[in-house]
Amino acid sequence: MTKIYRSDEDKMMQDRNLKWSSSSIMKHKPEDENSIQGFLAVGQLQERFLISDIATHGCSGGVSGITTYNETIAFYDKHKKEIWDMLYDMSEDQGFSIPFLMSDFDGARNVSDEDTFKNFLVWWAVTQKARELEQD
């Protein structure tokens, strides 16, 4: 299937994303697929989403694999330790408690129960990891 680009800028963006995927993503080991970074790598390689879009816009617009509560709860359960390690590291780096930091994250006001809390943390962690990858 041939991709149709609206402009040279679209083509350049696609080339940049493919270059990122081939240079950075391909060096993952198979066990990396069980990490958040691995989830992002596989999703981009399978053309389900672009890491750059997640880094720029977050997850609330819909990210394949973590859109429904069933998906985000399963993702949270699988990646809970990594998510909490990310929160702990951020807390240590910034010198604030984890609850204080979370109160300032996008979507914090929408948390009303355990399911929405898990969803909130998954979207935060995936967005954070995408931003880290885009900065590399």
Domain ranges of the chain: 8-135
| 83 CB-side CA count, 13 A | 20
CA dihedral over 106, 87, 90, 128, signed as positive or negative: negative
Are 101 and 87 spatial neighbours (Cβ–Cβ below 8 Å)? yes
* Terminal Cα distance for the chain, rounded: 30
Q: How many helices (H) and strands (E) in the chain?
A: 6, 0
Q: What is the pLDDT of residues 46-87, one digit of tens each?
A: 999 999 999 999 998 899 999 999 999 999 999 999 999 999
pLDDT at residue 25 greater than cutoff 70 = no
Mean pLDDT rounded to a whole number for the chain: 84
